[in-house]
Chain A
Amino acid sequence: MFPTEHFLYLGALLFSSGLIVVIVKKNMIMVLLGIELMLNASNLNLVAFNQLHPGSVAGQMFALFVIIVAVCEAAVGLAIIIQVYRYYQTSVPDEVSELNG
C-alpha cells in the first residue's frame, strides 16, 4: 500500500503540469488537454483522500462525476474551439484578443 502523500505529490505534479500546459500552449486544443490533466489530477486527489475513509466510495463516485463532467466540458470546449476557429480563422488563443483593454 502506497502512502497517501505519494498520490498527492503525483496529483500536484499533474495539476502543475496541466496548469503550465494551459498557460503556455499555443493551441486551444492543447489548452483543453491541459484542463483535462488538471481535472485528472483532482480526480487522483479525490481517490487518494478516499483511502483515509475505508468503507466509503464517495471519493471514487465523485471522481466518476468529474469524469462525466470533464467529458461534457471537453465536448463544449471543442465546440467553442471550432466556432472560434470558424470566426477568427485561428486556434491560437493569443490571437483572439478582443478583450484587450
Chain B
Amino acid sequence: MEDIQSYEATYFTTCLVAAVALPLISFFLSFAISEKYSWIVSFSAPFLLLLSTVAAGFVFYAVWNHEPVNIQWHWFTCAGYTFTAGVLLNNIAALMLLLVTFISFIVHSYSTAYMAGDPDFRQYFAMLGFFTFSMLGIVVVDNLLLIFIFWELVGFSSYMLIGHWREKPEAAEAAKRAFLINRAGDIGFLIGLMILWANTGSFNLTDIDSLSGYSSWMTAASLCVFCGVMGKSAQFPLFSWLPDAMEGPTPVSALIHAATMVAAGIFLLARVYSLFTPPALDVVIIIGTLTALAGALSALVQFDLKKILAYSTISQLGLMVVAIGAGAPQAAMLHLFTHAFFKACLFLGAGSVIHSLHQAQHQSNTALDVQDIRNLGGLQKKLPFTFIIFLLSGAALAGVPLFTGFLSKDAILNSLMAWKGSDLSWRWLIFASAFLVSFITVLYTFRLIWSVFKGEEKVTASLSIEEPPVAMRVPMAILAATSCWLFVSWNPFDFSGWIYNGLTSVKHFHFTFIALVSAAWIVVALIVAYRIRERSFKSAVLLNGFYLDRVYRWLIESPAFQLALFTNKVDKKWIDGVLHTSAYLQLIAAHVTGWFDRVLVDGAVDGAAGLTKGIGSFARSFQSGKIQLYIFWAVFTIIIFIIWTLL
C-alpha cells in the first residue's frame, strides 16, 4: 500500500514538473537550435507543449476534487526568517494549469503556420515557451513572493512578444507601454506584499487562507495587491496598454488575452480572495464595473478588428473582477475559463482573416489596412470556415444561450443577484450595469461579425482570398468546439456544472429566472443589433480609450516633466551653486595656502639658505688667495684689536 502511494507521489511530481518545465525546455531548445535548422522549432515547440498539456491533464486528474496538494521545501533563511518555496495545487490551480498549457499548445500549433517565414521565428517560439512557463509558475506556486517573481517574468515575456516586430516603432512603443503600465501596478503589488509581511510575517497562500477577521491592514494590503491586478488584468484606469498590445503578432494576443497575461490577475484575485475585506471588495467591484462599461463602450466604436477584441477582453475582465468583488471567485474563474477558449478562438479567427488577406495582398501587390473593418465586408463567401469559427466563438462571447459564455455570464449575474440584496442601494446600479455590459457585448460582437463577413465586399472584392492552412484551421476548430455549453455543464441553462461545483464548496444561489431574463435580454440585444447594423457609432472619446493616454500624460508625464525641470533647476541653481561656491572657496583656500607655502614656508627655508650663503660668500671674500690681502687684513685686525684694547 505504501509502495503504491509513494509511486503515485513520484508519478504525480514527475507530471507536475513536466507540465511546468517543458515550456521552459522549449524556450532553451528554441534558442539552442541553430538558425539553419529553425524548422525543427516548429515541430519541437508544439510537441513539447503537447507533452506539457498531457502532463497537466494527469495532474489535473490527480488533484481535481481531491485534497489540495501542498509540497514545500526550504528556500532560504534571511535575518532569522525562513522562507519556503513550494507548490499549492487546489482545484483552481489545477484548472488553470490545464487551461494555460492547453491554450498555449493551441497557440503554438497555430503559430507554426501563422509565423512561418518570420525572421525571428526561433525567438518567437522561445518567448512563447517562456511566457507559458512564467504563467505556469504563477499558477502552481504557493507563495506570494514567488508569484511576484513569476508575475514579473510574465510582464517581461509579454514585453518581448508584444514588441516582437521590433522594427515597427508602434510595436516597440506598445511593448514599452505595456511594460511600464504593468510596472506602475506592480509597485502597488510590492507594497501590498510588504504590508502583508509586516503584519503576518509570511507569504504563504495557506497562511493567507487561514487569516480570520477583518482588519484595516488587510484592506490596505488587498487594495495594493489589487493595484498589481489592475495593471496585469487591464482594469480601469490602467487598461490602455491592452489595445496597444495589438501591435504584437495575433497568436500572442490570443495567448495574452486567454491564458497567460490578463488571466494572471483574475487568478491571483481568486487565489488570495480571503485577504480581501468587504470595503476592499467594494472598491474592486466598482473598478470592475467601470472597466466593464468602459471596455464595452469602447469596443462599440473601434474600427480595428483586433482592437474591438481587445476592448471586449477589457470588458469581460471587468466582469470577472465584478464577480470577485461580489464574493464569487468561482464565477470569475468560470468566466475566465470559458472566456479563455472563445476569446483565444476569436483572436485566432482574426489572425486567420489577417493572414489570408495578407497572403492575397502579397499576390496582388495591393496595400490596405486589413485590420480596419471599414475595408472589410462580405468575406463569408471567401472564408466560410473562418466565418463559422467567428460565429461560434462570437456567440459564446455575446452570451447566446447554448454557448459557454452564456453560462459563465449567468454565473456572474447570479452572484451579483445574491450580492445586491433585496434593499435598494448602489449595488443595484452595479447589477444593472452588468446587464448593460452584456447588452453592449452583443452589439459589438454582432457589429464585428457583420462588418467583416456580411454585407458588400469592399476593397477585398478583387482579391483572391484563400482559407488559411490546416495547421491554423485545426486549432481554431478545436477551440470553437469548446464554445459548446457541454463543456461547462449538462444543462444549457444551469451553470453549476462540474467546473463551478469543483471551484466552490459553498451552496450557490441559482436564480432560474436570471437565466431566462438574460436569455431574453440577449435576444432583444440581437434584434437591436440587427436593426442598427448599418449605423456606425462615432465617439472620439471612446475610440481613443477615454483619452486615458492623455490623462496619464497630464497626470503623470507632465508633472513628472515639471518635476524634472524643477529638480533640474534646483540642481543647477542650488546644488551646483553650492558645489561651485564650495569649489570656489576651496580654490581661494588653496591659493592662500599656496601663497603661504610659497612665501612664508619656502621663504623661511630660502631665507635660511640665503643667509648662510650670504655669510658664506662674505666669509669667502676674505679668502681671496692674495697673500698681500691676507697680510692687510691681519694688520687691519691687529690695529682694530689694539685700538679696542687700548680704548
Q: Which residues of A contact B (CB under 8 A)?
A: 19, 22-25, 31, 93-94, 96-101
29 A-B pairs whose Cβ atoms sit less than 8 Å apart in the complex: A22-B628, A22-B631, A23-B628, A23-B631, A23-B632, A23-B635, A24-B628, A25-B628, A31-B628, A93-B626, A93-B628, A94-B626, A94-B627, A94-B628, A96-B625, A96-B627, A97-B624, A97-B625, A97-B626, A98-B625, A99-B625, A100-B623, A100-B625, A100-B626, A101-B619, A101-B620, A101-B622, A101-B623, A101-B625
Task: Please indicate which of the listed interface residues B619, B624, B628, B632 has the most CB atoms of chain A within 10 Å of its own CB.
Answer: B628
Residues of B within 8 A of A24 (CB): 628
Residues of A within 8 A of B626 (CB): 93-94, 97, 100
Q: Closest B-chain residue to A25, C-beta based?
A: B628
Query: B615 → chain A, closest Cβ, in Å?
Result: 13
> Looking at the complex, which one of A19, A97, A99 makes contact with B635 (CB distance below 8 Å)?
A19
Residue contact A100 to B624, C-beta cutoff 8 Å: yes
A31 to B620, CA, bound (A): 25
A7 to B135, CA, bound (A): 139
A19 to B632, CA, bound (A): 9
Residues of B592-647 at the interface with A, using a CB-CB cut-off of 8 Å, are 619-620, 622-628, 631-632, 635
Query: B624 → chain A, closest Cβ, in Å?
Result: 6
A-B contact count (CB 8 A): 34
A8 to B592, CA, bound (A): 71
Residues of B435-493 at the interface with A, using a CB-CB cut-off of 8 Å, are none
A47 to B620, CA, bound (A): 42
Query: B252 → chain A, closest Cβ, in Å?
Result: 101
Query: A32 → chain B, closest Cβ, in Å?
Result: 12
Task: Please indicate which of the listed interface residues A19, A22, A23, A100 has the most CB atoms of chain B within 10 Å of its own CB.
Answer: A23
A98 to B627, CA, bound (A): 10
Residue contact B627 to A93, C-beta cutoff 8 Å: yes
A101 to B626, CA, bound (A): 10
Query: A77 → chain B, closest Cβ, in Å?
Result: 12
A99 to B625, CA, bound (A): 4
A96 to B625, CA, bound (A): 7
Q: Mark B164-190, 1 if CB is under 8 A from A, else 0.
A: 000000000000000000000000000
Query: A12 → chain B, closest Cβ, in Å?
Result: 13
Q: Closest B-chain residue to A93, C-beta based?
A: B627
Q: Closest B-chain residue to A98, C-beta based?
A: B625
Query: A23 → chain B, closest Cβ, in Å?
Result: 5
Q: Mark B28-49, 1 if CB is under 8 A from A, else 0.
A: 0000000000000000000000
Q: Assuming A31-B628, A97-B625, what are 16 further A-B pairs, CB within 8 angstroms?
A: A22-B631, A23-B628, A23-B632, A93-B628, A96-B625, A97-B624, A97-B626, A99-B623, A99-B625, A100-B623, A100-B625, A100-B626, A101-B619, A101-B622, A101-B623, A101-B624
A31 to B628, CA, bound (A): 9
A48 to B587, CA, bound (A): 85
Query: A7 → chain B, closest Cβ, in Å?
Result: 21
A96 to B619, CA, bound (A): 20
Query: B243 → chain A, closest Cβ, in Å?
Result: 103
A23 to B626, CA, bound (A): 10
A99 to B628, CA, bound (A): 12
Residues of A within 8 A of B632 (CB): 23
Task: Please indicate which of the listed interface residues B623, B625, B632 has the most CB atoms of chain A within 10 Å of its own CB.
Answer: B625
Residues of A within 8 A of B631 (CB): 22-23
A99 to B623, CA, bound (A): 7
Q: Closest A-chain residue to B624, C-beta based?
A: A100
A23 to B632, CA, bound (A): 6
Residues of A within 8 A of B628 (CB): 22-25, 31, 93-94
Residues of A within 8 A of B625 (CB): 96-101
A23 to B631, CA, bound (A): 7
Query: B625 → chain A, closest Cβ, in Å?
Result: 3
Residues of B within 8 A of A99 (CB): 623, 625
A9 to B622, CA, bound (A): 32
Residues of B within 8 A of A98 (CB): 625
Query: A42 → chain B, closest Cβ, in Å?
Result: 15
Query: B163 → chain A, closest Cβ, in Å?
Result: 92
A97 to B630, CA, bound (A): 11
Residues of B within 8 A of A25 (CB): 628
Residues of A within 8 A of B627 (CB): 93-94, 96
Residues of B within 8 A of A23 (CB): 628, 631-632, 635
Task: Please indicate which of the listed interface residues A22, A96, A101 has the most CB atoms of chain B within 10 Å of its own CB.
Answer: A101
Q: Closest A-chain residue to B633, C-beta based?
A: A23
A97 to B629, CA, bound (A): 11
Residues of A within 8 A of B624 (CB): 97, 100-101
A36 to B176, CA, bound (A): 119
Residues of B within 8 A of A96 (CB): 625, 627
Q: Closest B-chain residue to A94, C-beta based?
A: B626
A93 to B624, CA, bound (A): 12
A93 to B632, CA, bound (A): 13
Query: A8 → chain B, closest Cβ, in Å?
Result: 16
Task: Please indicate which of the listed interface residues B622, B624, B626, B635 has the most CB atoms of chain A within 10 Å of its own CB.
Answer: B626
Query: B629 → chain A, closest Cβ, in Å?
Result: 8
A98 to B630, CA, bound (A): 13
A25 to B632, CA, bound (A): 12
A43 to B8, CA, bound (A): 147
